[in-house]
Amino acid sequence: MSIAVVDGHSTGRALVAALRSMGASCLHVASTPDMSTYFTRGFRADDYDALLPGEGDPAALAAELTRRGVRRVVAGTESGVLLADTLTHLMGLPGNRFATIAARRDKVAMGRTAAGAGVAVPLAAAFTDPDEGADWCARTGLTEAVVKPPSSAGTDNVRFCRTPQEVRAACATVLTTPNLYGSPNTVALVQERLRGVEFYANTVSYDGVHRLAELWRYTKRDGDRPVYDYEEPVPVGSEEGAALRAFVFSVLDALGVATGAAHTEVMATARGPVLIESGARLGGGTTPAVVEKYSGVSQTGLLAASLLDPAAVAAFDDTAVTWTGALRNTALINSVPGRVRSTRWETRITDLPTVVSLTHGVREGQYLGATTDLIDSPGHVYLAAEDRADIQRDHRVLRALESEGLYTA
């Protein structure tokens, strides 16, 4: 079976590896020839039978993919969502609802579409003038706001603000800076800052049937930027998981996610679950092989299986998944800016008793700034143990090492 992957970066690389191991052939479609090296590092052209440009006429590309016998089209990362859904629609393949395609990429349209379907969303508005954004916050009485680009990824120029003046400055930054994919931001999105416990749900769907492959609870550091600390899995069959599962499925229905992967972020607040945002693609910052080792399944593995056999989605009982021991996916945080003299620090991390996997993009000789958000985090590490206290111990050791300049000293 031949599958086209649009922008096979980030977790898309693991998806292609899984598909190839199952006997599928893969073609790569690049949505743009100017993709940032932040995404393309680690890309392996040899993983694909063909490399095709995607910036031309979608109809012509759809015809070429059909001629090549492509049976499914999937986004490898956020930048591929619109083109993958467009090609799927033009080729008449299983995919998402085309009428709501904009709501799966643009966060302004996403909020409006979700709210129109009865999904709880933050109070929000979009502005082309920083002064108007600041005035709106003052009029609505928001004491905390989030400012972000409407169509980027990760934590690109996401700012937490406490005053109208901070909102004005954050809006100005968004409006004068291209997003992570090099496109100009035509508006700045200003939202109510939600308070509560944050989760993300990694789902796989087929023909409107949804399954929650992974549910994780975030822990982040408080500040004006979202610095990720760690995340831990939540059993979908638990009472907590059941409520989030139902809410996430309502989000997918509202946004028209019918077939494929989605990564949905939710805040459990005093008024109930509230949508932060959702992407119609695989979740990033994960190592599927580790997740599978400790739970038996990963979103990447389930998506790969469903691309080859759609019945895999309906057959998967997400509420029955259990986790072996305790697991924590910890973001690396650089505390001391400077030049990376060597990567000998790797062994100081992997020698910690609970460390089972380390992933990073740090190169000897590069300048490594202080970590201020997810994008400039050096990488991530999984800690696993029977006793969560052992993980907490090694987590503290890691943070102590980082505070001394682990990566740059």
Does residue 254 lie in a domain region? Answer: yes
What sign for the dihedral angle of Cα 288, 289, 293, 299? positive
pLDDT at position 13 is 96
79-100 tens-digit pLDDT: 999 999 999 999 999 999 999 9
- Does residue 310 sit within a domain? yes
DSSP string, 59-98: HHHHHHHHHTTEEEEEESSGGGHHHHHHHHHHHT-S---G
- Residue 207 Cα distances to 95, 234, 245, 276, angstroms: 8, 26, 18, 24
Q: 346: which 2 tokens?
A: 């790797």
The answer on 278 and 337 residing in a single domain is no
pLDDT tens-digit map of 17-53: 999 999 999 999 999 998 888 788 889 999 999 999 9
Which whole-number Å values give the CA distances from 88 to 7, 8, 63, 83, in the listed order?
15, 16, 11, 8
Predicted confidence at residue 371, as pLDDT, reads: 95
**Tens digit of pLDDT for each residue in 354-404?**
999 999 999 999 999 999 988 889 999 999 999 999 999 999 999 999 999
Rounded to 5 degrees, what are φ and ψ at 13? -65, -40
Nearest to 145 by CA among 185, 110, 190: 190
Burial of 324 (C-beta count, 10 Å sphere; 0-12/13-18/19+): exposed
For residues 124 and 113, the answer to whether their CB atoms sit within 8 Å is no
The residues with which 124 forms a beta bridge, in sequence order, are: 191
DSSP string covering 222-233, please? Answer: -SSS-EEEEEEE
Instruction: Specify the CATH number for the domain of residue 25.
Output: 3.40.50.20
Count of CB atoms within 10 A of residue 238's CB? 13
The answer to whether residues 201 and 316 belong to one domain is yes
Please list the alpha-helical segments (H only) found in 101-226. Answer: 107-116, 130-140, 164-175
109 within domain boundaries:
no
Query: What is the model's pTM?
Result: 0.96
Determine the Cα angle at 146 with ends 267 and 185, to 5°.
120
Residue in the structure block whose two tokens are 């590069």: 366
Average pLDDT, the chain: 96
Report which of 246, 226, 127, 260 is spatially closest to residue 186, judged by C-alpha positions: 127
Sheet holding 25-30, edge to edge: 50-53, 25-30, 2-6, 70-75
Domain boundary among 192, 222, 242: 192
Query: Is residue 203 pLDDT above 90, yes or no?
Result: yes
Assign residue 212 the CATH number of its domain. Answer: 3.30.470.20
- The predicted pLDDT at position 223 comes to 81
Task: Taking residues 100-118, report their average pLDDT.
Answer: 97
Q: What is the pLDDT of residue 153?
A: 82
Do residues 163 and 232 both lie within one domain?
Answer: no
CB 338, CB 368: distance < 8 Å: yes
Q: Are 236 and 321 in contact (CB under 8 A)?
A: yes
Residue 35 in any domain: the answer is yes
Long-range pairs of 101-106 with CB within 8 A, sequence gap ≥ 24: 101/256, 103/255, 103/256, 104/255, 104/256, 104/257, 104/278, 104/279, 104/280, 105/78, 105/81, 105/151, 105/280, 106/150, 106/151
Are residues 128 and 88 part of one domain? no
Q: For residue 71, what are its two tokens? A: 């049976």
The answer on 140 and 23 residing in a single domain is no
| Terminal CA-CA length for the chain | 49
Which residue type does 369 have? G
Task: Work out how many domains the chain is built from and give that number.
Answer: 4
- Flag whether 108 is in a domain: no
Instruction: Give the percent of the chain with pLDDT over 70.
Output: 100
Whether residue 148 is found in the same domain as residue 181: yes
Asked whether residue 248 carries a pLDDT value surpassing 90, the answer given is yes
Which has the closest alpha carbon to 10: 36, 35, 43, 33? 43
pLDDT bucket at 258, cuts 50 / 70 / 90: very high
Q: 50-65 in b/e burial notation, b at 16+ Cβ within 10 A?
A: bebebeeebeebbebb
For residues 300 and 338, membership in a common domain is answered with: no
pLDDT category of residue 225 using cuts at 50, 70 and 90: confident
Domain that holds residue 232: 194-321
Examine the pLDDT at 409 and tell me if it is beyond 90.
Answer: no
Give the C-alpha separation, 316 to 312, whole Å. Answer: 6
Give the 3-state secondary structure percentages of the chain, helix then strand then coil, rounded to 5. 35, 25, 40
What is the CATH number for 164? 3.30.1490.20
